[in-house]
Amino acid sequence: MKLYMIAIIAAVAENLCIGKDNKIPWHISEDFKYFKKTTTGNVVIMGQNTFESILGYIGKPLPNRTNVVLSRDPNFSPPEGVEVYDSIEKAIAAHKDEKVFFGGGASIYKQTIDLVDTLYITHVHETFDGDTFFPEINAHIWKETWREDHDGFSFVIYKKK
């Protein structure tokens, strides 16, 4: 299956760590702003753990974006307006003509890195102790096309070669 207008967005430490105890193990406010700017007006597809983590952080779904949650839990009842699908294919099919971002977590990145053609990665220039990790970004597959370096982190866009 080849998909277009579909990207991954993630903040990734040097050791590929993305999370610990269902939270992000660092706080970079510029990265939250970058995530907001990049995804606003678009669709964010995420796993149930990530959605619950966001509720813990901001107390509501991501504003001004279509929140789509992947879950196989029949008892999961999200707030009004949040879409739930039990497969990635169904979630994508519901948003064929829109710009779609996979927003994590680890299980979703692992299942979608071969489907997307763009990666929006915030490289955090540190290693962290964690329990969830991003897949390897294979240099034979991914070409860096844009970079903005900051103190302690870099915003990078990769396109599939």
Residue 67 or residue 161: which is nearer to ligand NAP going by CB?
A: 67
Between residues 5 and 28, which has the closer beta carbon with respect to ligand NAP?
A: 28
- Closest distance of CB 103 from ligand NAP, Å: 6
Instruction: Please tell me whether residue 24 adopts helix, strand or coil conformation.
Output: coil
Which residues would be at the binding site for ligand NAP (CB under 6 A)?
Answer: 10-11, 18-19, 22-24, 46-50, 53, 70-72, 86-88, 103-108, 111, 132
Q: In sequence order, what are the residues at sequence separation of 6 or more whose Cβ sits closer than 8 angstroms to the Cβ of residue 97?
A: none
Cβ nearer to ligand NAP, comparing 61 with 104? 104
Residues paired with 107 in a beta bridge: none
The residue to which tokens 């999370």 are assigned: 19
Q: Rounded to whole angstroms, how far apart are CA atoms 40 and 147?
A: 20
Residues 6+ apart with CB under 8 A from 13: 25, 26, 124, 126, 127, 128, 130
Write out the DSSP string of 40-99: TTSEEEEEHHHHHHHHHHHSSSPTTSEEEEE---TT--PPTT-EEESSHHHHHHTTTTS-
Question: What type of residue sits at position 93?
Answer: A
CB nearer to ligand NAP: pick between 72 and 143? 72
Residue 27: CB minimum distance to ligand NAP, A: 11
CB of 97 to ligand NAP, least distance (A): 21
Smallest gap from residue 56 Cβ to ligand NAP (A): 9
Q: Considering the complex, what minimum distance in angstroms separates the CB of residue 142 from ligand NAP?
A: 17
| Residue with smaller CB distance to ligand NAP, 2 or 32 | 32
